Chains A and B, each alone.
Chain A
Amino acid sequence: MRSFTYERAKTPQQAAAAVAGTPGGKFIAGGTNLLDLMKLEIETPVHLVDVQDVGLDRIEPTEAGGLRIGALVSNTALSADARVMRDYAVLTRAIQAGASGQLRNKATTGGNLLQRTRCPYFYDTNMPCNKRDPGAGCAAKDGYSRQLGVIGISESCIATYPGDMAVALRVLDAVVETIDADGETRSIPIADFHSLWGDTPHIENVLADGEMITAVTLPRPLGGKHIYHKVRDRRSYAFALVSVAAVIQPDGTGRVAFGGMAPKPWRVAAAEAALPQGAAAVAARAFADAQPTDHNRYKISLAERTLAGVLAEARS
């Protein structure tokens, strides 16, 4: 690990100012992804601003009838909140499908959104990777790509966004709230938060340098059945090959987003509109523009079958 200096901020704005004012500065919250990458020297911050003392650790009702989740609420606390389990169960299910108990205790709502890809070529510093070293090339395209992305990817990068929580937040139409060094705030719909790789795969979201996530808000509850199915190489504690987050209403309409397929949770309006016609109709529309490799072509039919399982559960 490279050396770095460390400070604890007292307020969100102070934290944002400390990161914005220090080239090579970074926020640290739970640290479970960042420290892993720092040990491999994939992340090399020169200054860490610890945000654990800035507050933002509560879940509160909003005037609109939804919930405002502080950025530092842990994954465990969020998934176990009685209001979330009752009204936004797809979020509880998605969080509990990811990582381990130890990691969920440290992982935060804000940090989880920023977790970096698990592409093996991003992690292996002997391999060229445009995300780690812009312009270096991509070893994954002609490499072992069965875990990697099939849609929304580019010539530069075929990595996926790895998380589960954000897939549920996508079907819930969550909004990410931020603050910058000047105290300016903005609200970013989750649909716009993560970036497609294009030719700049090292840029993974729309946050500006030093802009800090303060909260994630959920609109009022949707009702319906909340389901999250995740398919992986072992039954627990593994990243998704394919996951499906869905909220299905009694009339068969609803919302659906896919994880493990793309650089961001994959939700397509035209595909979702086909939910009453069944999984095949949805998958055909959601993945019409897919560009799979020979290794990960299976993900498209797996996504369809996983969704079929979700719809069967919704009907039961």
Chain B
Amino acid sequence: MAGPISLKVTRRGILAGGAMSAAVSQVALAKGQVETPSAPPPAHQKVRLTVNGRDRELDVDTRVTLLDALREHMKLTGTKKGCDHGQCGACTVMVNGERINSCLSLAVMHDGDEVTTIEGLGTPENLHPMQDAFIEYDGYQCGYCTPGQICSAVAVLEEIKQGVPSHVTQDLSSKMQPTNLEMRERMSGNICRCGAYSNIAEAMAKLAVES
């Protein structure tokens, strides 16, 4: 295996690098590449959406993700930021009934949408059945990924009911089954570093059988 590329940073190196990248971009332009125009000043836009049944109107920088709009602008901090790149699932919420990674979606793209977060699924006094099942089956340890896991789990049972197949579905022509293997595959977009996976799958299977 080749050795790692040296990343020693010196002031001279940075200056030389700057001069070189300027020269390189000229070469690239000569080949017909379009130079990207410089970024415009920060732009704001109004967004109206319904979150957990409540109408909200926000004025946000276009760069604000749905996740940051929920956490920083609406103070709904139940939804968590893990990787911020769609790899961990901690930010999972439901939009118009479908689970998505709220970190990979812009708030301005959700004008008119209905968003459900963990705060909208249940309350401490009146838990959602999935929250109840997670408690009963010990589906968490530190709890950081749990809001995303629960939003995802609720949506998974709905997807199975609606006949959405998965990578482990054997027969595409018969009714989708809520098996343990199906739960594991369908929940692979939600990472739990405490490793509560088996208990999460059991909590989901219990609820699937009951409903």
Contact = CB atoms under 8 A, between A and B. Distances in A.
B36 A44 contact: yes
B104 to A, nearest CB: 5
Contacts of B28: 133-135
Chain A at the B interface: mostly helix, strand, loop or mixed?
Answer: loop
A52 B113 CA distance: 12
Interface in A194-231: 200, 202, 209
A183 interface: no
Interface residues of B, number: 60
Interface string B167-188: 1010011000000000011111
B159 interface: yes
B34 A142 contact: no
A92 B104 contact: no
B107 to A, nearest CB: 10
B27 interface: yes
A2 B167 contact: no
A3 B104 contact: no
Interface string A128-158: 0000011110010011100000000000000
B193 interface: no
A253 interface: no
Interface in B140-166: 152, 155-156, 159, 162-166
Given A5-B40, A46-B39, A134 B31 contact: yes
Contacts of A6: 43, 45, 62, 106, 108
Contact of B40 (A4, A52, A76, A101): A4
A201 to B, nearest CB: 12
Contacts of B42: 3
Contacts of B101: 32, 102-103, 106
What range describes how many residues of A lie at the interface? 35 or more
Nearest to A84: B172
Nearest to B29: A134
Interface of B: 1-2, 5, 7, 21, 24-25, 27-28, 31, 33-34, 36-43, 45, 61-63, 65, 84-86, 89, 92, 98-101, 104-106, 108-109, 111, 152, 155-156, 159, 162-167, 169, 172-173, 184-190
Q: Which 9 A-B pairs have the closest CB atoms?
A: A100-B189, A236-B188, A134-B28, A2-B39, A237-B188, A85-B172, A135-B24, A80-B164, A24-B37
19 contacts: A6-B62, A31-B106, A47-B40, A80-B162, A80-B165, A89-B172, A92-B165, A100-B190, A102-B89, A103-B104, A133-B21, A133-B28, A134-B24, A135-B28, A202-B33, A235-B188, A236-B167, A236-B188, A295-B1
